[in-house]
Amino acid sequence: MGRFILRRLGQGLLVVLGVSLVVFVAMRVFGDPAKVMLPLSATVEQRAEFEHLIGLDRPLPEQFVHFVKDLVTLDFGESLWQRRPAMEVVFERLPNTLMLIVSGLGFAILLALPLGAIAALRPGGIVDRVTVIGGLIGLSTPQFWLGLLLIMLFAVNLRILPTSGIGSWQHLVLPALTLALPSLARMTLLVRSQVIDELNQQYVKTARAKGMRFHTVLFGHALRNTLIPFITLAGWEVISALAGYTVVVESVFAWPGLGLTAIQAIQRNDLFLLQAIVFTVAIAIVLVNILLDIIYKFIDPRIKLA
Amino acid sequence: MRMLKGLLTGAVLLASVALPMNAFAAGDIVVAIGSEPSTLDPQARDDGGERAVNDNIYETLMARTADGTLVPGLAAAEPTKIDDNTWEFKLREGISFTNGEPFNADAVVASVERILDPALKSEQLAYFGGITGAKKVDDLTVQITTDGPDPILPSRMYWMKMVPPVYSKDPKFGEAPVGTGPYKLEAFNRGQDIVLVANADYWGGAPAIDKVTYRFVGESGTRLSGLVAGEFDVITNLLPEFVESVPKSATVQGLETSLIVLSTDNEVTKDPKVREAMNIAIDRQALADSLFAGYGLPARGQIVNPKAFGFNEALEPYPYDPEKAKQLIEEAGAKGKTINLVGESGRWLKDRELIEAVGQYWAEAGLNVNYQIEEFGQYLTLLFDQQNRPDAVFVVNSDELLDADRPMTQGYLAGSGFSSNSDMDMKAKVEAARTETDVAKRKALYDEVTQAAYDGNYLAPLLNAQDIYGVSERLEWQPRVDAKLIVKEMKVTE
């Protein structure tokens, strides 16, 4: 186990380096902060001057040496946009996104298992139909629209929750719910179909025939076998949320998370901040992947960690 | 089922706990702005969010009234010209920064030198081109020097915020600003809000509103919801179609003019008849009514803002004459010829809609319009590329200094900014006006330039948009031409 984790960490490091390199090149080839950040009326000379001030007029190899030094010392320089260390911005915004992911996706993960399993007990029954229809609605509703709808209902009409912002648990409810619903729908439908499949397997019939009680079969075998694909999907939900999928929720609810910050950094061509964000997110994703592998092993001891 | 019941009970409980959410104290307001200030250093960045807050903390030597007239601010009177390269300001007496540092000639010198210092990497330098330094004469007299005659210097000093000389060197300065203005910072909660409280010792008298909280809400729909739900008192950039949905709205003629730059040298558009046709083919009143719900006026044939120095009162909007436009296109033999129309999407209000509507008018006049909508960075490259001018390029000019020099340099001066002509006579006039310190002569030069550009159809000015704010029932406020959110001008009625 220890060796496995070490090896995966090593591989992860390569991934992080690769991703950072891509960002380094892409931002310098396609972006020009001097153009986007100065007022539209700035002259060509003023733009050139600004480029010189922020050091982007130096040869690419020289900038690359700086960049590698930054990576090694974990110092990503000063954000052009925020005028403070880029890592400071990242560490300020990351907890907000994590809070959103843990509460929103945590809620979805905890609810999807029982919901899907209950629906699967009687395929075609009333509970099942409600679940499937609800799931399809959840899957096909644009998150942006869903967020505004929840704001209209709970904040404008009922006035029981704030429309946007951060600061108290009340502020967290609507964004977390908006983030949770599409994931909840996806995961519930997956659990449902997996459990239905499992319950139709021969081994379930055998177990039942030899007198094993139904809920032992359900919890001990069918659900347990469902857990592997379920965790794969749940992991994917977490990873895509980390990789910026939360941005829609964050902008609708003015939630100061990392996804929103990344978009703003891209709009402003703030390459130093973006490098710091991508680096951090890449590390987080590598860690989540390692965690997932360990959980697999825990659920199904036959899986070899290689 | 039991679980569902439990959930519902929980939701109701949650509701009852959360109810007293919108309880305001009297005299406290909440303003929702579109973006969080990146820093509260008033001299570093060109950032609307930062300005919205700092315009209440800091002051400038020159100020503007709500309708845009330039008046002395921290200066005691209008500046006087000592020689071609020097302006002298007398300062108001007895003003100090809220940390106790006095506001005097030393503070002005420190403020000017700080913003010019390359170490600050100030994005605002674009507004201060030509300023070389400042010199103290006595405690309340200061001279600002330029590298040539600069008639716009007083307007420039309306943009430069005065900072405390000692404390502005502190590394925490960008987090905890200290100015001479009517408000001072109480809290800067990154990502969450900024709270300002009234400066009881303000030299102009303590303001009516005791406390103002700024919230950062990028989505216009969310800002609207917050206003309707009673969480906000002022929201910025209200979309015209939402005016009916808010408790109150307030509008003012804005700083922005949308326009299309027509190239005088390209294959099809070099024919003056084609450019005239392109101008009179556009129904500007219809654009204002349909896209902006009437919250905009047809631009009066020029890039200069109606409130700015240099605006040519003699010009009227280009007439709408689709029949004559068709005829001109026929005469010029340009029927069916392709026009490349470059633009972007999402930077300015209704930009893409405007571009497509204009293209449609041109198509009706007989041209074949090829739309080229680019990502903003790429768009800027095309906009400023003086080697290859597009046939037509959309842009919105914002006239922050309310003076014709910058818009003219951008839109009319050959070989500079986004201008697309090679009119050397016009170039000479714009350049002469830049150093002409006689107000009447300078105005006369500008009138000649705008008239010539109008006759030559160098630009197709579209609309002067209005700024629309959503305002709560209890707030009384007349917005300003320069779009600044000055809280001391607001009042709460209850």
Tens-place pLDDT, residues A162-176:
999 999 999 999 999
| Residues B207, A299: Cα–Cα separation, whole Å | 65
pLDDT tier, A69 (very low <50, low <70, confident <90, very high otherwise): confident
User: B421: distance to nearest CA of chain A, Å?
Assistant: 17
Interchain CB distance below 8 Å, B225 and A50: no
Interchain CB distance below 8 Å, A254 and B216: yes
Which of A46, A113, A164 should we substitute to test contact with B (largest number of B Cβ atoms within 10 Å)? A164
Please tell me which of the candidates B44, B126, B230 has its beta carbon nearest to residue A41. Answer: B126
pLDDT tier, B19 (very low <50, low <70, confident <90, very high otherwise): very low
| Residues A148, B469: Cα–Cα separation, whole Å | 20
Please tell me which of the candidates B18, B216, B219 has its beta carbon nearest to residue A252. Answer: B219
What is the structure's pLDDT at B25? 54
Percent of chain B with pLDDT over 70: 95
CB atoms inside a 10 Å sphere around CB A40: 20
Question: Is the predicted ipTM greater than 0.95, yes or no?
Answer: no
pLDDT, tens only, A75-122: 888 898 888 999 999 999 999 999 999 999 999 999 999 999 999 999
**Which residues, 6 or more positions from A298, have their beta carbon under 8 angstroms from its beta carbon?**
none
3-class SS at B88? Answer: strand
Mean pLDDT of B412-417: 93
Which of B40, B123, B344, B395 should we substitute to test contact with A (largest number of A Cβ atoms within 10 Å)? B123
Mean pLDDT of A263-270: 87
Please provide the average confidence, as pLDDT, over all residues in chain B. Answer: 92
Residue with tokens 């980390």: A242
What is the structure's pLDDT at B11? 45
Mean pLDDT of B3-11: 45
Restricting to A residues 26-65, those with a Cβ less than 8 Å away from any Cβ of B are: 30-32, 35-44, 46, 49-50, 53-54
pLDDT tier, A73 (very low <50, low <70, confident <90, very high otherwise): confident
Residue B4 has pLDDT above 60, yes or no: no
pLDDT, tens only, B354-406: 999 999 999 999 999 999 999 888 898 899 999 999 999 999 999 999 999 99
Interchain CB distance below 8 Å, B15 and A158: yes
How far is CA B149 from each of CA B71, B87, B189, B437, rounded to the nearest angstrom? Answer: 21, 10, 44, 7
Give CA angle at B81 (B80, B82), nearest 5°: 110
Restricting to A residues 205-234, those with a Cβ less than 8 Å away from any Cβ of B are: none
What is the structure's pLDDT at A68? 82
What is the structure's pLDDT at B18? 42
What values do phi and psi take at A252, rounded to 5?
A: -60, -40
| Residues B470, B489: Cα–Cα separation, whole Å | 16
| Residues A146, A159: Cα–Cα separation, whole Å | 17
b/e map B2-24, b = 16+ CB within 10 Å: eeeeeeeeeeeeeeeebeebeeb
pLDDT tier, A63 (very low <50, low <70, confident <90, very high otherwise): confident
What is the structure's pLDDT at B23? 43
* B115 contacts B58 by C-beta, under 8 angstroms: no
What is the structure's pLDDT at B175? 94
Mean pLDDT of A238-259: 93
User: B411: distance to nearest CA of chain A, Å?
Assistant: 10
Residue with tokens 């997932």: A292
Mean pLDDT of B442-463: 97
**Which residues, 6 or more positions from B449, have their beta carbon under 8 angstroms from its beta carbon?**
B408, B412, B426, B429, B430, B433
3-class SS at B58? Answer: coil
Q: Which helix (H) or strand (E) holds B229?
A: none
CB atoms inside a 10 Å sphere around CB B211: 17
3-state secondary structure A209-269: HCCCCHHHHHHHHHHHHHHHHHHHHHHHHHHHHHHHHCHHHHHHCCCCCHHHHHHHHHHCC
Residue A67 has pLDDT above 70, yes or no: yes
- The two structure tokens encoding residue A253: 């609810």
* B218 contacts A251 by C-beta, under 8 angstroms: yes
Restricting to A residues 155-184, those with a Cβ less than 8 Å away from any Cβ of B are: 155-156, 158-167, 170, 173
User: B293: distance to nearest CA of chain A, Å?
Assistant: 23
pLDDT, tens only, B111-123: 999 999 999 989 9
User: A229: distance to nearest CA of chain B, Å?
Assistant: 26
- The two structure tokens encoding residue B130: 């030509």
Query: Nearest CA to A278 among A292, A255, A258, A264?
Result: A258
- The two structure tokens encoding residue B200: 């009881």
CB atoms inside a 10 Å sphere around CB B168: 22
* B203 contacts B22 by C-beta, under 8 angstroms: no
* A260 contacts A251 by C-beta, under 8 angstroms: yes
pLDDT, tens only, B43-68: 999 999 999 999 999 999 999 999 99
3-class SS at A191? Answer: helix
Please tell me which residue of chain B has the smallest CA distance to A265.
Answer: B38
Residue B2 has pLDDT above 50, yes or no: no
- The two structure tokens encoding residue A86: 């880029």
How far is CA A198 from each of CA A29, A128, B358, rounded to the nearest angstrom? Answer: 52, 16, 61
Interchain CB distance below 8 Å, A254 and B190: no
How far is CA A197 from each of CA A109, A153, A201, A224, rounded to the nearest angstrom? Answer: 20, 38, 7, 13
How far is CA A234 from each of CA A101, A111, A187, A288, B1, rounded to the nearest angstrom? Answer: 11, 12, 7, 11, 25
Please tell me which of the candidates A30, A35, A156 has its beta carbon nearest to residue B228. Answer: A156
Interchain CB distance below 8 Å, B225 and A156: yes
* A304 contacts A240 by C-beta, under 8 angstroms: no
**Which residues, 6 or more positions from B399, have their beta carbon under 8 angstroms from its beta carbon?**
B255, B256, B257, B304, B305, B308, B406, B407
What is the structure's pLDDT at A44? 79
CB atoms inside a 10 Å sphere around CB B38: 23
* B186 contacts B119 by C-beta, under 8 angstroms: no
pLDDT, tens only, B276-321: 999 999 999 999 999 999 999 999 999 999 999 999 999 999 999 9
Range of weakest confidence among A183-187, A296-300, B254-258: A296-300
Residue B86 has pLDDT above 50, yes or no: yes
* B85 contacts B148 by C-beta, under 8 angstroms: yes
Interchain CB distance below 8 Å, B397 and A41: yes
Q: Is B135 exposed, middle or buried (0-12, 13-18, 19+ CB in 10 A)?
A: middle
- Asked whether the whole model's pTM tops 0.95, one would answer no
Beta strand ranges found along B199-337 (DSSP E): 211-216, 234-235, 248-262, 296-298
